A and B are shown apart, each in its own frame.
Chain A
């Protein structure tokens, strides 16, 4: 990666490829498979990517990609159109706004921010579902999805470490 920092970061590298990877992983986990009678969990693969995009650098394409990922999730999972787009954009915006606070923080602080972003996403989903259906989702299932998403933090960290210093203008 020597010398890579002198060039502007190509969008397809830090936005396009992770987006495709998220779509592939989400489709794989949406296959009707059971192991020992238990179905696969349904983590929000798009969240670590959205979190990392907000940390890496501000971008005009970033929010658009987050919205596209959200719309893709809506179509695949059968949620109301725009549901996941809103749920993912909210933590993206918060992390983007607090980006200066995140710079140079320890790994623990990053994890806390990531957990907060996950809580915000799922909390927004909970609230929107309640408003839409006038029915509260099962808290245990919500907790299960929350935990399945939390463990994806290493993917966010990997993306951040790879591209955080890739663009010299945002070091």
Chain B
């Protein structure tokens, strides 16, 4: 049957109207997609399949396309190095002399620190393993600041891992796939980083706004910061390790404290992804909940006496009596004997006695 024979063949719908209807449908679909995408997913592994696939495709494409630019830059740098070798040599010699003095100071300080740690029994952070990556794409607009690195799940990268350049903190990983990781920059409008002022130990939240210098929000303390103060990660919340260099505090044109990022000193082409796991990631919460509370130290005055339930009030008084006598040859066995039943009660009813004790 030809089109001319079709009874609907003569039906003509105005194109303007149909285009308008399609536009409305597409707009509604786009709004629905936007509403279903939540930036809160940055904190989880729910990066999304479309993004994962796109990143997987974009990483090698960006890597290949950026190669000529990278090689040209290295060539230009080589030529510049050749022509400015003498002045560079002088500068490096001066820097080396200075560094030698600091090396001696550092060795002395390291020895002192080790002694203090041994005396105090201080448990320091373990070394953090790293993965080196190259940045292959870079978005730097006002509404999104993120970069794609060419190392992913195969190197052990996980969402939340901090990312550093040779100069300082760059951001953190928000999405991982095989061979690619999406890095949310400190300057992104959705980025929030707990930081501290090195000089005063004052805490603040570094808030990105799409510009080159993120803001210091929720700055606590009077005169907590002055221009030129070093800003480091505070480690609060466990997302970043403590003490990573972030930048230098400056007063912005808008009168707010901002940070000139240390990573801006040089192009961020190679980065180190710290395979850092914070306490909340390492800890086995289920095992912690099941763990028995250790017995109270005999004779310790800081621990409150266990508050037994009312029906067992008669059995409770002997416990402090056995614990309070001064430690003697005969006192030790009763103390442990009295302490052994104590953990059993808090182990099952550990949260219960505490709220009961607080009102007292």
Binary per-residue interface labels of chain B (1-40) against chain A in the complex, 1 for a CB within 8 Å, 0 otherwise: 0000000000000011011101101110111111111110
Interface residues of A in 124-154 (CB under 8 A from B): 125-126, 128-129, 132-133, 135-138, 140-142, 144-145
Which of A63, A132, A140 contacts B19, CB < 8 Å? A63
Q: How far is the CB of A131 from chain B (nearest CB, A)?
A: 10
Contact of B23 among A71, A96, A132, A141 (CB under 8 A): A96
Residue contact B34 to A86, C-beta cutoff 8 Å:
yes
Size of interface on B: residues with Cβ below 8 Å to A: 60
Q: Is the CB of A129 within 8 A of B139?
A: no
A86 touches B51 (CB 8 A): no
Binds A, one of B97-105, B106-114, B204-212, B310-318: B204-212
For the complex, what is the distance from the CA of A135 to the CA of B144, rounded to whole Å? 12
**Cβ–Cβ contact A93 & B27, under 8 A:** yes
Complexed CA–CA distance, A37 and B41 (Å): 33
Using CB atoms, name the residue of chain A closest to B23: A63
- Nearest Cβ on chain B to A149's Cβ, whole angstroms: 10
**B31, chain A: closest CB distance, angstroms:** 6
B33-A82 in contact (CB<8A): yes
Give min CB distance, A147 to chain B, whole Å.
12
A 45-74 to B, binary, CB cutoff 8 A, 1 in contact else 0: 000000000000011101110110011000
* B207 touching A85, Cβ below 8 Å: no
A96-B20, A136-B209 known; A30 vs B26 contact (CB < 8 Å): no
Question: What are 18 A-B interface contacts by the 8 Å CB criterion?
Answer: A27-B62, A27-B137, A31-B65, A32-B137, A32-B147, A33-B69, A58-B20, A60-B15, A63-B26, A64-B26, A77-B143, A78-B146, A80-B38, A97-B20, A129-B143, A132-B39, A135-B207, A141-B212
The interface of chain B, by Cβ under 8 A from chain A, is: 15-16, 18-20, 22-23, 25-27, 29-39, 48, 50-51, 54-55, 58, 61-62, 65-66, 69, 73, 135-147, 174, 182, 184, 189-190, 207-212, 267-269
